[in-house]
Structure 1
Amino acid sequence: MTFIRETVITSLDPAGNVHVAPMGATVVAGGYILAPFRPSRTLDNLLATRCAVVNVTDDVRVYAGCVTGRRRDWPTVPAERIRGAVLDGALAHEEIEVTAIEDDAMRPRLTCRPVHLVNHRPFRGFNRAQAAVVEGAILVSRLHLLPPEKIDREVEYLSIAIGKTAGPVELEAWGWLMDRIAEHRAGTGNAA
């Protein structure tokens, strides 16, 4: 059985520059399938270095900051067993190596095996606002593909959870997402 886990992938380019990107990682027996769209810095880095780090975080600002372009300079620390970077403050991380590549013009599939797993602190659970921000970040990453009515319906529904359960971190992240949607509609925002 496979399922997708919403994660933050940290990868390095050949020069050692860190790239942080939210990505759904498909969990399969023995590891993950990563399928970044072309063009993608994450894909370029994975193809060049054949390794990355799968980070699990409850700081939803990372998701919102990356997809809106609001913030991408998240602190990292060196990985332990691969040439890579770990999201500082991650709940857990898994260092992975690419073992197979199924090429595709739009979305190659990279099979990855874990080489090291570290739990940094316990996961206390998401509140509904955190889940809404993650869903909102996915929505924002697809603004160019979705009709305005779909965006409005999703935002209206997700706003219920924000209104009921958000703390300061979730409100900040949600604000970034709403600003990005407004910029998209006004035609003033650059793609993140």
Structure 2
Amino acid sequence: MSSLIDHLGLTENHIYEVVLSTYGREGRPHAAPMGMTFRQPREIIIRPFKTSLTYNNLCESRCGVVNVTSDPELFYRTAFKETLPSGESPQEWFETAKKVKAPRLKLAPYHIEFVVKWIGEEIRERAIISCEVKGFKGEKIFSRPYCRAAFASIECIIHATRIKEYLSRGWVETAEELIRLVNNYRSLCERVAPHSKYTKIVDELLAFIEIWRQQAKVG
């Protein structure tokens, strides 16, 4: 496992944002952004919302794939599938994993395949899931010049998934704090990468957020 950590330049107990893919009950592939932590050499910890499809799928299938990517577009399309023509991730995005019965994203340069060891309760709305790595494979990931807009757009995607959940629960004040951050990141994207795919992603997220706000008021 040290070779995996070294290969990706990872550190134990740091949270890394990835896209996690699983099969649903009917065998349909599903992918969604998720935070991941290496807690021990062969152990991955994830903390999904208990209302999420990822959580339900892991409870059923007991395995999945961590797809390592830095592409904001892939984070965005897997987080907000309503932006896709069919409303769900296309089947052709996926291929079958080698070591576990789970799908993996063809577009991701690196895959970490795992099985679920145990599932517990972290806090009221989240579970904690311990996973054992069964295999990993992919391209060597090289450093590239750092663009603040890429980082900012991924942060906005992560915040938006939480904003949607918090507004649905009536936690308006907590959601509004994150909305302010999204607006700040929008200004950053426009400054360092104007009229880019990053600003487009954040603008679409802000439109979704306004819809969720209105729905929360009606509810």
Provide TM-score, normalisation by structure 1: 0.85
**Counterparts of 1:81 and 1:152 in 2: how far apart (Å)?**
40
Per-residue Cα deviation, 1:18-67 (whole angstroms, up to 9, x for no partner):
11111111221122111211122111111111100001112212322333
**Counterparts of 2:125 and 2:198 in 1: how far apart (Å)?**
32
Name the structure with the higher helix share. 2
1:86 to 101, 104, 114: 104
The residue type paired with residue 10 of structure 1 is S
1:28-177 mapped onto 2 (5 Å cutoff): 28-29=39-40, 30-68=42-80, 69-71=82-84, 72-74=88-90, 75-103=93-121, 106-120=125-139, 122-125=141-144, 127-143=147-163, 144=167, 145-147=171-173, 149-163=176-190, 164-165=192-193, 168-177=196-205
**Counterparts of 2:194 and 2:135 in 1: how far apart (Å)?**
33
Shift of 1:5: 0.6
How many residues align structurally?
A: 188
The residue type paired with residue 134 of structure 1 is I
What is the aligned partner in structure 2 of residue 12 from structure 1? 23
CA shift in 2, pair 1:187/1:123, >3 Å = farther
Higher relative CO (Cα under 8 Å, sequence separation at least 6) belongs to 1
CA shift in 2, pair 1:166/1:42, >3 Å = farther
Q: Decide whether the 8 Å contact of 1:8 with 1:21 is kept in 2.
A: yes
Q: Decide whether the 8 Å contact of 2:72 with 2:198 is kept in 1.
A: yes
What is the aligned partner in structure 1 of residue 5 from structure 2? none
- Residue 142 of structure 1 aligns to a residue in which SS? helix
- Residue 187 of structure 1 aligns to a residue in which SS? helix
- Residue 174 of structure 1 aligns to a residue in which SS? helix
Taking only aligned residues, the RMSD between alpha carbons, in angstroms, comes to: 2.4
The residue type paired with residue 83 of structure 2 is R
Unaligned stretches of 5+ residues in structure 1: none
Shift of 1:107: 2.2
Computing the radius of gyration over CA atoms, which structure comes out larger, 1 or 2?
2
Q: Decide whether the 8 Å contact of 1:53 with 1:93 is kept in 2.
A: yes
Which deviates further from its counterpart, 45-54 or 122-131? 122-131
Shift of 1:151: 4.1
Q: Decide whether the 8 Å contact of 2:193 with 2:199 is kept in 1.
A: no
Shift of 1:152: 4.7
Q: Decide whether the 8 Å contact of 1:37 with 1:106 is kept in 2.
A: yes
What is the aligned-residue identity percentage? 25
